Amino acid sequence: MHTVEIDGENLDIQKFIQVARYGEKVKISEQARENILNSRHTIEKIISGEELAYGIKTGFGELCQVSIPLEDIRKLQENLVRSHACAVGKPLDREIVRGTMLLRANTFAKGYSGVRLELVELLVEMLNRDITPVVHEQGSVGASGDLAPLAMLAIALIGEGDVDYHGKRMCARDALALEGLKPLKLEAKEGLALINGTSLMTAIAGIVWYDTWILFKNAMIACMMSLEALKGTNQAYRPEISKVRKHPGQAYCAQTFMRMLQNSQILESHKNCKKVQDAYTLRCAPQVMGAVKDTLDIVKNTIEIEMNSVTDNPLILPNGKSLSCGNFHGEPVALAMDYLGIALTVLGNFSERRIARLVDGHLSGLPPFLTEHSGLNSGYMIAQYVSASLASENKVLAHPASADTIPTSANQEDHVSMGTTAARKCMQICMNVRNIVAIEMLCASQGLDFHKPLKPGVGVLRAWEFIRKHVPHLDEDRVLYPEIENVAGMIKNGEIIEAVEKEIGEF
């Protein structure tokens, strides 16, 4: 297992996933250590000076005009994290909280937050020793950052609240003690630095982007499986077509589709048929799925910028100044997550329409509902209902959270991003689309079975064979939900992609 070194500059989604999901160890770079120490030295000078500094010598939000005596500065930070630790709802998945901890540490590594090195080291030690704070999912409006959820993370550092320790829920103080770690006593600025930022929404964004990228590649495979099952043509994917429109995603998809369809006996078998055009969900696949690919590229750039940004307030500058700012506002992530959620919804709609075509004997040329004995058997009839239900649910979830705002803190915070809501919605849409694509793969595999002994293109063949190793042909009705879950799991884990890429190369 490798170690991911954080320096505030070079974190990307791949490294982030290795830590958040797969448990890779983390270390702080030497430059980051120096940055953190210098920033803390600046805080000490501010404390001893005469000038008021927001959140260091004052209250918070609408109470920013209230001066805090020096003897109460530590108490101020403890009160802050305790009072703000009021998120509600279900506990977030462990990988989301781990990702949030990593992003908070990476922000501090840049040296503009004024926290002590001990604080960042404790965050990293908790990651490395599998001590994960229990953080509830609801309560952030995404403006002064993810205040309520991040405060639930912060209280674990002071030994309060609950954590997940190697899969067991316990008091944070007890888990720290088991690892020989001591809870922090927060110093000036540290409580504010811990809770004031976009780390939660960005962590969800990083995870959902990664899962969407894997899902997107699976959706491309599913689309070509359906094309072969429906006896479509590959002529709409010719390079001359993409050359005159210039969108990179379209060209990428068309080229990848052609690679998947190489040496198809099914395509060859109906080369001279009388059908002039395929339906849009086949013919326009490069244009529609290419637009999703371009969206993924744009959103990835936004997320990786945010991962390496300082998003707390105030900023502690090398010149000894504390500068109040709005870097905590989550609008860049909110808009990106809404954009990705819409793109995912399109991907799900596109897949569901192919499922509907596959089960409709009038359109597909295949047995009704993909079963040899329809009437006695319903085949994949209700699986299509499920995909339709998920696609319609996504249309509700795709309403942009960033279009909403609600004032907080007695109107001091009069515009908020709803970035965490956007990210959470996007994650649900991703899960829904994964199930839709799983259903498409099952239906397309059944359709391909009816074309034997003809074989599809090399990429499609590998996907079909892989699915058939785990899910048999549907001869007569059986319970389908375990098979949908099974294929959805293979989609998430990238197993089907791996099988296809062994044949056609990485795409």
Predicted local distance difference test score (pLDDT) of residue 73: 81
Greatest Cα pair distance, the chain, in angstroms, is 87
**What is the mean predicted confidence (pLDDT) over 287-306?**
98
Residue 192 has pLDDT above 90, yes or no: yes
Candidates 335, 330, 338; CA nearest to 394 is 338
Q: Both tokens of residue 429?
A: 């849409």
The CA-CA-CA angle for residues 286, 493, 224, to 5°, reads 25
Residue 61 has pLDDT above 70, yes or no: no
Q: Please give the helix or strand (H or E) that residue 170 lies within, else none.
A: strand 168-171
Determine the straight-line distance between the first and last CA of the chain, rounded to whole angstroms: 26
Residue 476 has pLDDT above 70, yes or no: yes
Residues 232 and 278 sit within 8 Å (Cβ to Cβ) = yes
Distance CA 59, CA 457 (A): 66
Candidates 388, 406, 386, 380; CA nearest to 477 is 380
Categorize the per-residue pLDDT at 113 as very low, low, confident or very high, splitting at 50, 70 and 90.
very high
Predicted local distance difference test score (pLDDT) of residue 438: 99
Residue 59 has pLDDT above 70, yes or no: no
460 C-beta neighbours (distance < 10 Å), count? 32
Residue 264 has pLDDT above 90, yes or no: yes
Residues 148 and 85 sit within 8 Å (Cβ to Cβ) = yes
Distance CA 167, CA 203 (A): 20
Report residue 298 CA to chain centroid gap: 14
Secondary structure (DSSP) of 179-242:
TT-------TTHHHHHHSSSHHHHHHHHHHHHHHHHHHHHHHHHHHHHHHHTT--SGGG-HHHH
Predicted local distance difference test score (pLDDT) of residue 72: 81
Categorize the per-residue pLDDT at 386 as very low, low, confident or very high, splitting at 50, 70 and 90.
very high
**What is the mean predicted confidence (pLDDT) over 480-485?**
98
Categorize the per-residue pLDDT at 36 as very low, low, confident or very high, splitting at 50, 70 and 90.
very high
Q: Both tokens of residue 215?
A: 């899902």
Predicted local distance difference test score (pLDDT) of residue 378: 98
Predicted local distance difference test score (pLDDT) of residue 51: 67
Distance CA 464, CA 461 (A): 5
Predicted local distance difference test score (pLDDT) of residue 388: 98
Residue 403 three-state SS = helix
Mean pLDDT of the residues in the chain: 95
Q: Please give the helix or strand (H or E) that residue 335 lies within, else none.
A: helix 331-359
**What is the mean predicted confidence (pLDDT) over 181-204?**
96
Residues 193 and 232 sit within 8 Å (Cβ to Cβ) = no
| CATH architecture, domain 3-197 | Orthogonal Bundle (1.10)
**What is the mean predicted confidence (pLDDT) over 95-121?**
98
**Which are the catalytic amino acids?**
54
| CATH architecture, domain 205-314+323-504 | Up-down Bundle (1.20)
Distance CA 136, CA 270 (A): 56
Q: Is the pLDDT higher at 195 or at 275?
A: 195
Distance CA 177, CA 179 (A): 5
Predicted local distance difference test score (pLDDT) of residue 46: 81
**What is the mean predicted confidence (pLDDT) over 179-202?**
96
Partners of residue 4 on adjacent β-strands: 26
Residues 178 and 165 sit within 8 Å (Cβ to Cβ) = yes
**What is the mean predicted confidence (pLDDT) over 179-198?**
96
Candidates 153, 489, 100, 117; CA nearest to 311 is 100
Residues 225 and 260 sit within 8 Å (Cβ to Cβ) = no
402-449 pLDDT, tens digit per residue, is: 999 999 888 888 899 999 999 999 999 999 999 999 999 999 999 999
Categorize the per-residue pLDDT at 273 as very low, low, confident or very high, splitting at 50, 70 and 90.
confident
Candidates 144, 139, 150; CA nearest to 101 is 150
Q: Where are the domains of the chain?
A: 3-197, 205-314+323-504
210-231 pLDDT, tens digit per residue, is: 999 999 999 999 999 999 999 9
